[in-house]
Structures are given as C-alpha cells and as structure tokens.
Amino acid sequence: METCFAPAERANGCELKSELQIIGTNPIINSLLGTVGGLLAVLNEHRQIIMINDAFLNTLGIKDAIHLFGLRPGEALNCVHADETEGGCGTTKMCSSCGAAISIVASLAGKKPVERKCALKTSRGGKIVELCFSVVSCLFEFQDRRFVLLFLQDITNYQQWAALEHVFFHDISNILMGLSGASELIKTADEKDIRELADEVFSLSRRLSREIEIQRIISGQAMPSSSVQHQVVTVLDIITELRNMFAHHPVAANKQILFPKTFPVNAVTTDSAILLRILGNMLTNALEATESGGLVKFLVNQDDGNISFCVWNRLAIPENISGRIFQRYFSTKDRPGRGLGTYSMKLLGEKFLGGCVDMKSSEENGTVFRISLPL
C-alpha cells in the first residue's frame, strides 16, 4: 500500500485484541488513563488506537471506545484529510506537515518525547471546524511490544488570544503612540500647525476604530454586511500607504520592494483598510521569506473585469506546506499566535471583500500571493 509519509500497514483484528490484552495488564497505563485530565490515547507501533481515556471520548462525543479501536488519531478526530488515500491517517500528502503525525512518527524513531503543534481541520455535523492542539508523543515498550502514549491538549483559545496579542495589541499600540505624540504637540503648536496635527489625530482615530473592527472580523464577532465600508480608493493611494507602512519596517531592512509606476486601473471600490491589511500581510510574508539584499515585487493587473494585486518573492513553498497555507492556526513558525496571517487574508478577501485570494508556488517561478477584486 502506497504512502506519502508514514507506513500504511496496520495490525489486523487479532493482533489488536492481543495488544489490548497486553497493555491492559500495565497498572501505570491504566492509572494514567484514569487520572490524566487532557486527551490521552495509547497507540500501537502502527499508530492505531488501542486504549483511550474518557476525556478523549467526551471530546469526540462517543460513549464506547470500541468505535475507535484500531483507528488512527486523524480518523478518530474526523480530520478532513484522513480518507484521501487508502492508507488513511498518516499516509496522505498533507500528513508530512501535520504536527500530530510528525510527533508520532518521530517518537517511534527515537526514545524521547516529541512535542508539536497540530492545526486540525475536522468535520463535525457536516460543518468544518478548525482546532489547534499541542501534541506530545512518547514511545514506551512493554512485554516486547512498542506503544506510543499520545497526549493532546486543545490550545485553540490560547492561540486565538496569542494571535490577538501578536497582531492586534501591537498595531493598536503603534496607533496609540501616534495619537499620544500628536496630542502632545497640539498643546504647544502654533495656530498654523494645529490644523495639520488635528487632521493627523482624526486620521489615527479612524485607523484605531477600523483596526478594532477588523480584529472583530478575524475573531468571528462581526458580520460582513455591518463591517465593510466600501469607498473609491485609487491604486496610487494604496501603493503610497504600503510604501509608508514598510519604509522603516524591520522586516524590510536591506530588502527592496519593487512597486509598479503605472497601473492598468486607476481606482477600485473596496474597503481600503481591509485591503491594506491583506496586502500588508502578503508583503510581510514575502519579505520574511526573502534574504538580505533580495527583491520582492508588488504587481497590479487587470483581467476579466477584475483588478488583481499580487506579491511575488523568489522562494518556493513546498507542496505539503502550500496545501495548508490558508488553514487557520497552521504555521511553519513554532511560536504562539502564529498561523492567522494567511488565514485572515482569505477570510477578509473573500468573505468580506467579495474577491478571490489564492497562491501559486514553484521552484521555477517562485511564490505569488494574489487577491482579485471585481471592478
């Protein structure tokens, strides 16, 4: 049986029952299953579930563990990718970037506990739900058999708050600092300068209000109809804002952003604050993937009644990563609060602006993120 990552072979029914009888005589494992508050499962060396604790069953809404006996973790959790190949969980193209699969396979290859973050897209009641787990896998041997203790902790809420701190509080802090500085200058400004400073305070106040609204959108607390503020905005204004945004940004240090000097379209009707958040994220990702002295290109195209804003960089994204690039909580950066940037691009661009957000990547042509909006 073919696989794209972990071995596809499984133990048969008789072998599973034998393994259950063996592990059932281990008092330490039985004690752990009865006392550990998080999600805990015992896997055999083929990554199949042999035993599982009540917390795991309750999370899945299952009363009898027999329904999970012999399944792999992704199959038990209804991962949307688990049935993409005949071999099931651990054998698909997406599995090589799955934190749980990597943790389990790595623990089987060594003798140390392996911890990873798993961004899971699961099917529940006909709806797609995106969750985030901290996963720890630990290999142990008992009666000449190899087993894996699999611990899972749901950190979805923690990741949401970490993302809020990483993006929202940082941006809010910058705006508030600007407001504070302008307000202080007004106290001592000449009459001719007060108008200019007042305009700056007004502009920063509007940015603050929109930033709060955008964060409500990303966190799922706002509806499209009440959150989007369409207005005519020129392409030149968009590019000017982006130039200013990255003029002194640390991620752009010793790197060049090439902006176009002419555009096929002069203006577009959209929510400029949301569009700038999307394009800012695209440029940030491209700059992070670009070495010192490297080049990032910003492009504007028109086709089939749409205007497209594109961001290019030289580095290709591996296929197993590109398939998850817009998945919530998935990130190649192992830090709390990451994994919402690309997710928010697609959410904001498609659900709120009514456009299309996509990505193409290859070794020959590099990586292009694109948002297309109707004219």
Give pLDDT tens digits for 156-168: 888 767 666 666 6
Q: Reduced to 3 states, what is the DSSP secondary structure of residue 69?
A: coil
β-strand partners of 370: 310, 358
Report pLDDT for 173: 64
| Across 168-197, average pLDDT | 72
Rg of the chain over Cα atoms, rounded to whole angstroms, equals: 25
HEC profile of 286-310: HHHCCCCCCEEEEEEEEECCEEEEE
Backbone angles phi, psi at 117, to 5 degrees: -100, 135
Q: How confident is the model at residue 214 (pLDDT cuts 50, 70, 90)?
A: confident
Percent of the chain with pLDDT over 70: 89
Residue in 93, 217, 100, 103 with CA at minimum distance from that of residue 154: 100
Amino acid in the structure at residue 2: E
- Mean pLDDT lowest for which of 121-125, 262-266, 358-362? 121-125
| Across 56-64, average pLDDT | 90
Reading the block at residue 372, the tokens are: 């297309």
Helical ranges in 164-271 per DSSP H = 170-188, 191-218, 224-227, 235-246
Amino acid in the structure at residue 187: K
Residue in 200, 175, 198, 174 with CA at minimum distance from that of residue 187: 198
| Across 61-78, average pLDDT | 94
| Across 325-337, average pLDDT | 72
Q: How confident is the model at residue 279 (pLDDT cuts 50, 70, 90)?
A: very high
At the topology level, CATH places domain 156-225 in Helix Hairpins (1.10.287)
Spans of all domains in the chain: 13-154, 156-225, 228-375
Reading the block at residue 28, the tokens are: 């330490």
Distance CA 69, CA 85 (A): 20
DSSP annotation of 85: S
- Edge-to-edge, what's the strand order for the sheet holding 256-258? 256-258, 295-303, 306-313, 366-374, 356-362
Q: What is the CATH number of domain 13-154?
A: 3.30.450.20
Distance CA 344, CA 339 (A): 9
Does the pLDDT value for residue 341 go beyond 80?
no
- Mean pLDDT lowest for which of 31-40, 169-178, 186-195? 169-178
> Which position has the higher pLDDT, 340 or 321?
321
Reading the block at residue 347, the tokens are: 């959410």
Superfamily of domain 228-375: Histidine kinase-like ATPase, C-terminal domain (3.30.565.10)
Amino acid in the structure at residue 175: I
| Across 47-54, average pLDDT | 97
Q: Are 102 and 90 in contact (CB under 8 A)?
A: no
Report pLDDT for 170: 58
Tokens 């080049």 correspond to: 295
Q: How confident is the model at residue 334 (pLDDT cuts 50, 70, 90)?
A: low
What's the mean per-residue pLDDT of the chain? 88
Distance CA 309, CA 345 (A): 12
What are the residues whose beta carbons fall under 8 Å from the beta carbon of 283, sequence distance 6 or more? 242, 245, 246, 257, 296, 298, 311
| Across 323-349, average pLDDT | 76
Give pLDDT tens digits for 221-270: 656 556 688 999 999 999 998 988 888 788 899 999 999 999 999 999 99
Rounded alpha-carbon distances, angstroms, from residue 227 to 40, 170, 241, 296, 355? 41, 22, 21, 31, 16
pTM above 0.85, yes or no: no
Amino acid in the structure at residue 325: I
Q: Are 100 and 73 in contact (CB under 8 A)?
A: yes
β-strand partners of 359: 369
Report pLDDT for 337: 47
Residue in 104, 125, 133, 76 with CA at minimum distance from that of residue 328: 133
Does the pLDDT value for residue 339 go beyond 60?
no
Instruction: Calculate the CA 371 to chain-centre distance.
Output: 18
Distance CA 256, CA 239 (A): 14
Report pLDDT for 168: 61
Residue in 295, 297, 296, 299 with CA at minimum distance from that of residue 308: 299
Report pLDDT for 296: 98
Does the pLDDT value for residue 333 go beyond 70?
no
| Across 41-61, average pLDDT | 95
Helical ranges in 64-155 per DSSP H = 73-76, 99-109
> Which position has the higher pLDDT, 365 or 249?
365
